[in-house]
Structure 1
Amino acid sequence: MRRTRPVDDAVPRLKDHKVQVVELICRVCDRHSAHERNLLVKAFGASVSFAEIRRRMAMGCERMQTPQGDKCGAHFPCLGNGLADGN
């Protein structure tokens, strides 16, 4: 059974962005990955937030959890203004 979470309409979700390829870039650790949107939908569902995708893709980044908070620079260029980048 799936847990339900409250839905925040202000949070960017995969279903709201119809780009073919979703890129995740981090200038701090020189990370760049690109994933087909349809594969992300299959893996996480269309209603997944970009924040959740970011957490999963950047798993293992030592900057995600520091005493000062999230210092990971990973973000999605398709969101334009840096939303869901954790900073």
Structure 2
Amino acid sequence: MTRRNPKPLDLNATLRQVRDIVITVECAACGRSGQLDRAILLTKHGAAVTFARLRRMAAMGCDRLVSLDGDRCQTRFPCLDGESIVR
């Protein structure tokens, strides 16, 4: 039996740990948001892909991701907050 875990995950979590059909990505700094189809991500990158890697792909071209001050990009995945996590 699968049980939901309310403890949030960090960006080292893998796609295997989040079972949402649609993965939402958003950036508070830019005001951009989008949705990624989990099935397509699984086919293209596999279940072991980390959200850190997905974040880099989603924020590609963002000046805040790679700046002199370090990573100032605010791209995040709401699904890592605990609601969609299974163990």
TM-score bucket of the superposed structures, by smaller chain: 0.7 to 0.9
Give the gaps of 5 or more residues in structure 2. Answer: 1-10, 83-87
SS of structure 2 residue aligned to 1:65 = coil
Compute the TM-score of the two structures, normalised by the length of structure 2: 0.78
- Highest RCO, 1 vs 2 (Cα 8 Å, sep ≥ 6): 2
Aligned residues with identical type, % of pairs: 36
Which amino acid in the other structure matches residue 73 of structure 2?
C
Could you tell me which residue of structure 2 aligns to residue 12 of structure 1? 13
Number of residue pairs matched by the alignment: 72
- Counterpart CA distance in 2 for 1:41 and 1:63 is 27
Could you tell me which residue of structure 1 aligns to residue 22 of structure 2? 21
Give the gaps of 5 or more residues in structure 1. Answer: 1-9, 82-87
SS of structure 1 residue aligned to 2:76 = coil
Compute the TM-score of the two structures, normalised by the length of structure 1: 0.78
Name segments (4+ residues, structure 1) moved above 3 Å: none
